[in-house]
Structure 1
Amino acid sequence: MNNGTILIIEDDADIREAVRILLGNEKYTIIEAENGSTGLELMTESIDLVILDIMMPGMSGLRTCEEIRKKSNVPILFLTAKAKESDKLIGFMAGGDDYLTKPFSYAELLGRVKALLRRYHQYQGKNAVEGKKVEEYLEMEEIRINQQYNEVQVRGEKIELSNIEYHILLLLMQNPKKIFSAQNLYESVWDEPYFYNCNSTVMVHIRKLRVKIEKSPQEPRYISTVWGKGYRFGT
C-alpha cells in the first residue's frame, strides 16, 4: 500500500537518508533530489508532498518553492536551521505550507507530514466519503466555490489557491456570521495544537488569500479582521 509520494529536496545526504528510511517505513514512496534544480526536474503530478531544505547551494529552497508554486499547489514542508519568526514568515510568503526547524524529532516530522497530506487529499477530493452528499456550490457575494471539485471563482474568474488557503476560505464561507480567532482557524485548518507563534502563520495565509480574492487587499471586503477577536467572512 502506497500512502503517497513525497519528494525530498535536501543537500545533506544523511538527512535525506534518515527521512527516506522513516517515511519509507510508513509506506510512502520517496523521491530524492540533492538540490533545487534537480528537484524541479523531478516535480510531476504524482507528487503529493515536497519536503524542502531552505539553505542549499545554488538555487535556494525559497527560490525552489517559488518555482514549484508557478505550476503546483502541492503542500511544501520547509526544513531549516533558521528558527527566527521573521525567517518563518519569509518561508510562508514564498509559498510554504509548514515549517520544521532542525534538529527535529522524527515523531514531529511524521505528524506534520500526515497532517499536510490529509488536508491535501481532502483538497483534491481524494478522500471523499462514499454516499456523503455535499452541496456542489457554495456562493456568497462574488465568490463561488465548487465543493465537488474544490474550485474557486471570484467575479467569474477561476483562481488558484493552495490547500491551506482553500480550507480557510471554505471554513469562513461556511460560517459567515462566526468570528474565528487565530487559534480557531489554526486548529481547524492545520489540525494541530495552537501556540502563540502560530498567530503569524495564520496572518500570512490570510494576507495571501486576500491578495488573491480582494479587489483591494488593504480594504478587504470578503475576509475582514475583527480587531481583538479574529476574522470572519464579510464586513
Structure 2
Amino acid sequence: MARILVIEDDPHIQRLIKVYLEMEGFEVVQADDGEEALNQMYSQVIDLVILDIMLPYKDGFTICEEIRRSFSIPILMVTAKGERADKVKGFQVGTDDYLVKPFDPVELVMRVKALLRRYQIAFSETISIGEIQLNKREQTVTVAGKSWSLPQKEFQLLFKLVSYPGKTFTRAQLIEQIWGMDYEGDERTVDVHIKRLRQRFKPWADQFMIVTVRGLGYRLEVKK
C-alpha cells in the first residue's frame, strides 16, 4: 500500500483528498506546513507527495526544492495558482505534475496512480516501448532482436524521458540531470540531441513521440 503525504493547510481540502485516496486503498498522512511535512518524510517512508503552493512559513515551491534535494519520489502540486508562470516555476523546482483548484477528486486519484506507475518504471534497468527495449546497464537499444548503441548522452536523455512518460522536463532540468551541474555549454544542446533522437526513431513514430512543450522543454508520449 502506497503512503501519500498531503501538504495542505485547508482542512476541507485535506479531508476531501484523504477520503478519495483512502477509498482507493492508499494510506494518507497529512501536514499543514513545510516543517511538519519534512518531519513526516524523515520519520517514515513516503511514496508520493501532494503539495499545495500557498502554505504558511514556506511556500510550496520552496518545499518542493527541499524535497527534491533529499528524496526521489513523485510530487503532485495541487493549487489555486493556475497562471502559466506558476506552472513553469512548479516544473522548474521539480514537480512531476500540476493540478489546478478547483479539481475533480477522481482526476486527482488517477494522476496519483499514473505518477506511481511512472516511478516504478523509472527505477528499472530495462524499459520497453512497444518493440523497442532500452537496457540501461548495457546502454543499448534493441528492436526485433537487433541491438545497437547510441551516443552516451543521447541514450541517457532518451532513457530519462522514457522513464517518466508524460512528465515535462525543462531544458535546465535535463542539462543538470544528464550533463551535470558543472556543464558550461548552452541549453540548446538539449534541442540538438532531441532532434537526433527524433531522426533515429522516426520509423517507430507510431509507438512514441518526443513532444516539445512550448516555453518549458520536452516530454515523451507513448502511443497506444
Both structures adopt the same fold (TM-score exceeding 0.5): yes
The 1:217–1:189 alpha-carbon spacing in structure 2 relative to 1, beyond 3 Å, is farther
Could you say which residue in structure 1 is the equivalent of 2:147?
none
1:189 alignment partner, SS class:
coil
Contact 1:20/1:30 (8 A) holds in 2: yes
- Which residue does the alignment assign to 1:10? 8
- For 1:43, the equivalent position in structure 2 comes to 41
Q: Comparing both structures, which one devotes a greater share of its residues to helix?
A: 2
Q: How far apart are the structure 1 equivalents of 2:153 and 2:100?
A: 36
Shift of 1:166: 5.4
- 2-side partners of 1:64 and 1:189: how far apart? 24
Deviation at residue 137 of structure 1 after TM alignment: 2.2
* Length, aligned pairs only: 179
**Rounded Cα–Cα distance in structure 2 between residues aligned with 1:70 and 1:29:** 24
Instruction: Work out whether residues 53 and 77 of structure 2, in 8 Å CA contact, stay in contact via their aligned partners in 1.
Output: yes
Asked if the contact 2:172/2:187 (under 8 Å) is kept, the reply is no
Q: Tell me how far 1:123 sits from its aligned partner.
A: 1.6
* SS, match of residue 18 in structure 1: helix
Closer, same or farther: CA 107–94 of 1 in aligned 2, 3 Å: same
2:25 corresponds to which residue? 27
Farther off after superposition, 87-96 or 216-225: 216-225
Shift of 1:89: 0.2
Gaps of 5+ in 1: 146-151, 155-164, 172-187, 191-200
Question: 1:78: which partner in 2?
Answer: 77
Residue 141 of structure 1 corresponds to 151
* Residues 139 and 152 in structure 2, CA contact (< 8 A), matched pair in contact too: no
Partner of 1:218: 187
Deviation at 1:22, TM superposition (A): 0.6
Give the alignment's TM-score, normalised by structure 2: 0.68
Q: 1:75 to 1:11 in 2, by over 3 A?
A: same
Matches within 5 A, 1:83-162: 83-125=82-124, 135=135, 136-138=137-139, 140-143=150-153
- What stretches of structure 2 of length at least 5 have no aligned partner? 128-132, 141-149, 197-209, 213-217, 219-224
Deviations 1:68-110 (Å, cap 9, x if unpaired)?
A: 0101121100011011111100111111111000000012101
* 1:32–1:50 CA distance, 2 compared to 1 (3 A): same
The answer as to whether partners of 1:50 and 1:74 remain within 8 angstroms in 2 is: yes
**Once the 2 structures are TM-superposed, how far is the Cα of residue 141 of structure 1 from its aligned partner?**
2.6
- Letter paired with 1:220: T
SS at match of 1:137: coil
